[in-house]
């Protein structure tokens, strides 16, 4: 679920870390629920106030959630718990040390099919090759593996939230395409 708070100017703000002060407004972590809440003015009804909602709130939330997920992957990389690249991931998979397999949704199906998720591991496929590469300081990355630990669980949780916001992984909204091109 996503938490939102109301600032002093009566504007609805996303609170991904759920740490901002004030009464939280919780909405299910998917695009349909958020759009419904905005269209039906549920934030206004819950708070009994006339609130301001930014026009691109869902796109902003998707960007913030993506950044949060990539920051966790960067942290895992710096801690030595994440690797990227086909050969490195294949090696970790052969040693049975993978808790989480991440593959870019826009990578080649043939290449992705060569690596299979172990029984005990989780799979994430909601990031683009560009985004995954960004986490590793590369231009693109298709395959990534994370070893077990607390970071792997947090990455799975944040990826689940991001997956709910994204429509079809291969099709980005026009706003999201423009935003990625501006990077």
Q: How many Cβ atoms from other residues are within 10 Å of residue 35's Cβ?
A: 12
- The residues, ordered by sequence, that sit 6+ positions from 181 with a Cβ below 8 Å of its Cβ are none
The answer to whether the beta carbons of residues 12 and 38 sit under 8 Å apart is no
For 166-180, what is each residue's pLDDT tens digit? 865 544 445 555 555
Per-residue pLDDT at 81: 93
Rounded Cα gap, residues 168 and 49, in angstroms: 34
Summarised one tens digit per residue, pLDDT across range 80-92 is: 999 999 999 888 8
CB-based contact 30:37 (threshold 8 Å): no
Domain ranges of the chain: 2-54, 60-182
CA distance 152 to 172: 26
Residues in the chain: 183
46's tokens? 């819950």
Across 64-86, average pLDDT: 93
Q: Where are the beta strands (DSSP E) in 7-59?
A: 12-14, 25-27
Rounded to whole angstroms, how far apart are CA atoms 123 and 102? 6
Mean pLDDT, the chain, rounded, equals: 86
Fold classification of 60-182 is 60s Ribosomal Protein L30; Chain: A; (3.30.1330)
Which of the listed CATH numbers 3.90.550.10, 3.30.1230.10, 3.40.50.10330, 1.10.150.20 matches domain 2-54?
Answer: 3.30.1230.10
- What global pTM score does this model have? 0.82
What percent of the chain clears pLDDT 90, i.e. is strictly above it? 40
Which pLDDT does position 170 carry in this prediction?
47
pLDDT band at residue 165, thresholds of 50, 70 and 90? Answer: confident
């Amino acid at each position: 679920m996503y938490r939102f708070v109301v600032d002093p100017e009566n504007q609805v703000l996303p609170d991904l870390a759920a740490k901002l002060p004030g009464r939280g407004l919780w909405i299910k972590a998917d695009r349909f629920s958020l759009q419904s809440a905005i269209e039906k003015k549920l934030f206004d009804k819950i708070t009994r106030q006339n609130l301001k909602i930014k026009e691109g709130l869902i796109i902003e939330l998707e960007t913030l959630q993506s950044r949060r997920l990539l920051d966790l992957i960067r942290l895992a990389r710096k801690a030595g718990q994440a690797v990227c690249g086909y050969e490195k991931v294949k090696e970790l998979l052969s040693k049975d040390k993978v808790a989480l397999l991440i593959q870019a949704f826009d990578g080649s199906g043939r290449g992705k099919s060569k690596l299979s998720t172990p029984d005990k591991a989780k799979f994430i496929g909601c990031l683009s090759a560009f985004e995954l590469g960004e986490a590793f300081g590369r231009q693109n990355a298709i395959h990534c593996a994370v070893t077990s630990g607390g970071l792997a669980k947090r990455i799975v949780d944040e990826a689940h939230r991001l997956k709910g916001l994204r429509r079809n992984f291969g099709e980005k909204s026009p706003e999201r395409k423009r935003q990625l091109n501006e990077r």
